[in-house]
Chains A and B, each alone.
Chain A
Amino acid sequence: MNIRRMLFIVIPALFILNNAVAYFIFDSGRTVQQSYNVMLDRVLLYKQIAEQTQGNLRALNTYLLDRTENSRQSYTSQREELTHLRESLSAQRMTIPTTDLTVRSYRNMIDTFIAQEAVVIEALNGQEPLAYAAYYEEAERTAAFVSEEGYHLIDVELSYYQPFYRQILIQTDMMNDWGVAILILNTLISIAFAYWISLRITVPIKQLASTARQISDGNLQASPPPISEHNEFGILSKAFVRMQDNLRQFIMKEKESLEKDKLVKELELEVLQNQINPHFLFNSLNVISKLALIEGAEKTSDLTVSMSNLLRYNLRNLDRPVMLRDEVEHAKEYFTIQQARFRDRIQFETDIDESGLDVYVPVLTLQPILENVFVHGIEGMEEGAEIKLAIAREQDEMRISISDNGVGMSEQVRHSLLDLRSEPLHSERKGQSTGLGTRNVFRRLELFYGRNNLIDIHSEPGQGTTVLIRIPVARKEDGDVSLTDRG
């Protein structure tokens, strides 16, 4: 259950519970009250009538004594009040079973009393001055009967209701006790619920906070709190896990790129160290080329220009990728120079798909491999050495193959060349290369394209060697960007 839904359910539920309990208690109170009203209404009426009758008699007596208009009016209003009460007694049709006759008697007695009073008043205005006295006495006795009967009625009512009331009192006591118990328990439940809800909110927050502290302290392995996924905190916790994963990945990538930078720097340093005063050489070669031309040695001049171009190319910034076309040109220049040395002993063939040459590749990719061919592959051959450079487009990659029919290499050497992370074998003779070994080329290719398996070597001792390089075409823009960014 998520927290929002839980709050939506629990809080109204508590409200309803509390209100229901309050209502039950209130309603029961009302029922008890009603029971009192049932009887009190009638009892009060009986009592009121009894009192009113006495009041009436007193008013009549006062009038008989002073005969003033004032007291006559007071008597009349008293009589009207009694008549009114008598009517409400008639209107009350229901009585308890044992009192129906008594109530009837009571009504009749009041009637008798009212009639007797009328006779008294009549006699007062009559011929005989003292005739009213006897009638008054009668009325007085009737009033006494009315009171007596009224109190008798109250008595009967009370004793009739007594067993009911005793039971109602017992039940009321019980109800009160249970009501208090319910209120207390209800309060406890409400507190427990509130505590529970607060726990459901604060505990995950605490756990998350502690995880966050661990992460901020550098512990990326800190395990996040196990929280149900239906909870909002579950989502937070999951986000934490994802964030940790991303952080770890990012840090790994960062480490890799640092390694790349370091390697490039090393290579650069190596290149610079290897090019001893390259500018002096370059200028000297230009001078030699000019001199050779003036002296009519055209071949020497061309060779010198090739040498100069080769040097210029080697002096380029290693950070910048170059077009495959430039690499091929450079390879050709290199070959020209080598051919000047080996003459007819070597044959250079090219089979190049021109359409695929506009891809970016790391600088000095082909030349070091060719150099390797000359140094290791065909150096010992007296004649008939063949070197072939083939470039073909195949779907989304360029396939570059450099093959020779030289001495080939042992499986051990082949593996050491391909396994870029192992130490190079001692058989790899130093000083024979331009400094950029085959392994360096392979490594740079992998770093440049960010993937392995770009290189393959087919070779057997005595059967020649073929180096296969796959250049992904799609990567040409990315490679450019990532390489320039690095600088």
Chain B
Amino acid sequence: MSNKRSWTLGLFVIVLVFGYFIVQFLSSTQKIGYLVEQMEQSKAEDTGGKHVVLIAQEVDNPFWRMVETGAKEAAEQLGMKIDYMGPIRINPGEQINLLEKSIAAKPDAIFAQGINNQRYKLLISQAIDQGIPVITVDADEPMSRRLAYVGTDNWEAGERMGELVVKDTGGAGQVGVIIGSELADNQQLRLEGFRSVIRSSQGIYIAAVRSSNISRLQAAQQTEVMMNQYPSITSIVGLSSLDAIGIVEGLEATGRTDVSVYGFDDLEETRQGIAIGAIAASIVQQPQEIGRQSVLVLSEFFKSGSIPVQSFTKTDILDKNNLKASVSSP
């Protein structure tokens, strides 16, 4: 009898173990099936909608990511799709290449940063010829056939910078200027705007203008050279986002602490500089607004066929008093 009972018990245990194995096996199978199903379900049909290519200056730059966010938010509401791309490192040649590639892909519109390049202008013309509207963002491409420019009024931003410096210095002293690029339209406009204010003020003048080539290291080097050449400089202005930090580094290298630094945009380092007082103030753009505005302008173009050639977005002054969250253009 006990023999029979042990048989039954053994059989029961075996069936239990076997059932457990089967359940484990089936659960694995089910999970795979579920994953495959997810893969299948996650596939989406191309629902149409306008295909808009946004070519950034640098793909993972926070400033350009904000532009992308703004553009995507607006595009979603208007039934458009933003195809965001850009060089991994800042590289105008790659920007040109991306523009050409985008034209080959025949999108419904292209947003691109102006880089003041002859071949770039030709490609914009080619796109317009093929019926692809091109809108420049952040920096304009003057003398090209682009439909419109959307972004900061760089002349005005330069003017504000000038006013800021004049106010802080009391309208006296020598000013050094570091610009990001000799070629870029936005840099030139900022410099012009700045100059116009300085020029109209007696007792203050620009001692030197140097280019950092959008490099922090070069900005530091140029600062050092400039300070050695013109020791009487009391304020230095950086017109592109990395300049202010580079200037601070350059000043540290020369051991000067009596020079006020002004910058552009609000990189994290710039904000820290402002917080510790190394940087006096910064002119901050609104990248998200730029993206949003670009899409709205494009939508208006699709609707009515005519749009204003320039749409400006606002700038703010960031100083110790109003350190607030925003991001910067490189």
Contact = CB atoms under 8 A, between A and B. Distances in A.
6 contacts: A28-B29, A93-B46, A95-B44, A96-B43, A189-B14, A196-B7
B81 A101 contact: yes
A141 B102 CA distance: 12
B276 interface: no
Contacts of A27: 29
Contact of B35 (A28, A35, A104, A192): A35
Nearest to A35: B36
Interface residues of A, number: 49
Interface stretch (A170-178, A243-251, A277-285, A465-473): A170-178
Interface stretch (B19-27, B151-159, B195-203, B316-324): B19-27
Interface of A: 21, 24, 27-28, 31-32, 34-35, 38-39, 93-97, 100-106, 108-109, 111-113, 141-142, 145, 148-149, 161, 164, 167-168, 171-172, 174-175, 178-179, 181-182, 185-186, 189, 192, 196
A189 B83 contact: no
B272 to A, nearest CB: 34
A54 to B, nearest CB: 15
Contact of A24 (B26, B51, B102, B104): B26
Contacts of A175: 25, 28-29, 32
Given A38-B40, A161-B39, A168-B35, A148 B101 contact: yes
A137 B35 CA distance: 45
A167 B28 contact: no
A459 B197 CA distance: 172
Chain B CB within 10 Å, residue with most, of A101, A182, A185: A101
Contact of B39 (A24, A148, A164, A171): A164
Contact of B36 (A38, A186, A189, A192): A38
Given A95-B44, A185-B18, 9 more contacts: A24-B29, A28-B25, A94-B44, A96-B42, A108-B104, A112-B106, A141-B104, A145-B105, A178-B25
Nearest to A33: B36
Interface in B91-134: 100-102, 104-107
B101 A96 contact: no
B38 interface: yes
B258 interface: no
Interface string B30-59: 011101101110111111000100000000
A149 B35 contact: no
Nearest to B29: A28
Given A175-B25, A182-B22, A103 B46 contact: yes
A38 B101 contact: no
A289 to B, nearest CB: 88
A101 B39 contact: no
Chain B CB within 10 Å, residue with most, of A105, A106, A141: A105
A35 B33 CA distance: 8
Contacts of A189: 14, 18
Contacts of A168: 32, 35-36
B17 interface: yes
B29 A35 contact: no
The binding surface of chain A is classed by DSSP as helix
B314 to A, nearest CB: 30
A94 B17 CA distance: 43
A112 B103 CA distance: 9
Contacts of B36: 31, 34-35, 38, 168
Given A100-B44, A101-B51, A185-B17, A178 B28 contact: yes
A182 B44 contact: no
Given A93-B45, A109-B105, A111-B106, A31 B100 contact: no
A178 B42 contact: no
A94 B45 contact: yes
Interface string B70-81: 000000000001
Contacts of B32: 28, 31-32, 35, 168, 171-172, 175
Nearest to A188: B14
B33 A96 contact: no
A149 B25 contact: no
B42 to A, nearest CB: 6
B28 A149 contact: no
A12 B25 CA distance: 23
Contacts of B29: 24, 27-28, 31, 175
Interface in B267-322: none
A109 B46 CA distance: 17
Given A105-B83, A145-B104, A185-B18, A100 B46 contact: yes
Given A109-B104, A189-B14, A164 B35 contact: yes
A-B residue pairs, 3 tightest by C-beta: A105-B105, A175-B28, A108-B106
Nearest to A25: B25
Contacts of A39: 39
A105 B82 CA distance: 12
